[in-house]
Amino acid sequence: MSQPDLMLRHVNLPDGRVDVDVAVRDGRIVGIGPALPGEAHETVDGGGMLLSPPFVDVHFHMDATLSYGLPRVNASGTLLEGIALWGELKPLLTQEALIERAMAYCDWAAARGLLAIRTHVDTCDPRLLAVEALLEVKRRVAPWIDLQLVAFPQDGVLRYDPARDHPGCRDSALDLLRKALDLGVDVVGGIPHFERTMDAGRESVRLLAEEAARRGLRIDMHCDETDDPMSRHIETLAFETHRLGLQGRVNGSHLTSMHSMDNYYVSKLIPLIAESGVSATANPLINITIQGRHDTYPKRRGMTRVPELLAAGVTVAFGHDCVMDPWYSLGSGDMLEVAHMGLHVAQMTGQQAMRQCFAAVTEAPAAIMGLEGYGLAEGCHADFVLLQARDPIEAIRLRAARLGVWRRGRLISRTAPATAQLHLPGRPSQVDWLAARRG
């Protein structure tokens, strides 16, 4: 083997291997195993810390991110006020400001080791301003972040009338979505539960699935983001996926109504989702805060049935959804925070379940996005994150510092270890919150 450009020594891997070396040449992993022979141009001692593939967020809204307080703050913190706020903000958007906020968020993402993002972009605007802005952001960040765009008819592909906002506009909402795809948007989106009727929602799923099939594109629909157990558009999405032969290319996002459905119907629904090859994305930070707002007590958690979907063989990811926007005032692009919340909301505290939560922000969303060369194996891209933790469970517990982030074998971000200096008589001078080593 020719001399590697980079060698990381003494790292642990998410699959349980410990004290492993990883060799990199020309932006790819060329060796992985214990005590690899030879020297590299650059060597990093991992010190027994966890080397992870990059974090992946398969559900985000970058066109709204970091707009907190514009034009006002969401005082109630509810979904309905957030929707109203977005309606107030949209006419005020400029392409330059949108690009600036999105680029700032991508800086945050890189520092967090979040190197792949699928973002929905609102197509219910005859100007397609956000579409053009995020296509430019995608071009700019391509060297360090894989950015996928979803054509998302925020106000409903059948419900929204473009002439309402721009009198004289002759395009339909479906026409605008098609124009966004023509411009280079990657994925077909939808929001069937926001259409005027259940029948219109089902029709929107059919229209959009056929559009994706004609173009050979993936689908990612907001589905049933409601506490209404009768909102069952995921059933239609699974049917259309099977009918059109789109297995493995379709994702249903949110699916929160499943939390409120009766168990008998779910016992039919989950096998249908699994048979169709549809994946699922829950958004724990948002689902736990948005859903159940009409409840007194007991109050529903709102997140979809993650353990049951996983048990049926469905690929399940966790998304961040929002960061400092009309719907959510918090967040910082930390997918370990997302996994931490998902673990708690879904009560996934068993050892294997906690590792599945780590996979839900790494391997699973990478599979949903269809990322080429993702992972920690020979031949994969040399994209990885060195975490201040020894295993995935500890990484979630600590929301571990990203000691180093590499893209194609090049260091793009470094964070100092999280430590505290103590001044206590008879006690250690420093703590780092890592669990004591056994043995």
Catalytic residue numbers, as ranges: 225
DSSP state of 435: P
Spatial distance between the Cα atoms of 18 and 33, rounded to a whole number of angstroms = 9
- Exposure string of 271-304, with b = 16+ CB inside 10 Å and e = fewer, is ebbbebbbbbbbbbbbbbbbbbeeeeeeebbbbb
Return the half-sphere exposure (C-beta side, CA atoms, 13 A cut-off) of residue 336.
22
Return the half-sphere exposure (C-beta side, CA atoms, 13 A cut-off) of residue 69.
2
Spatial distance between the Cα atoms of 359 and 67, rounded to a whole number of angstroms = 30
Q: In sequence order, what are the beta bridge partners of 317? A: 281
Which segments of 172-262 does DSSP mark as H helices, in order?
A: 173-183, 198-215, 233-244
Strand blocks (E) in 338-439: 384-387, 402-407, 410-414, 420-421, 430-431
Helix (H, G, I), strand (E, B) or coil at 150: strand
Helix (H, G, I), strand (E, B) or coil at 383: coil
Spatial distance between the Cα atoms of 30 and 42, rounded to a whole number of angstroms = 15
User: Nearest to residue 106, comparing CAs of 143, 69, 51?
Assistant: 143
Six token digits for residue 204: 């929107």
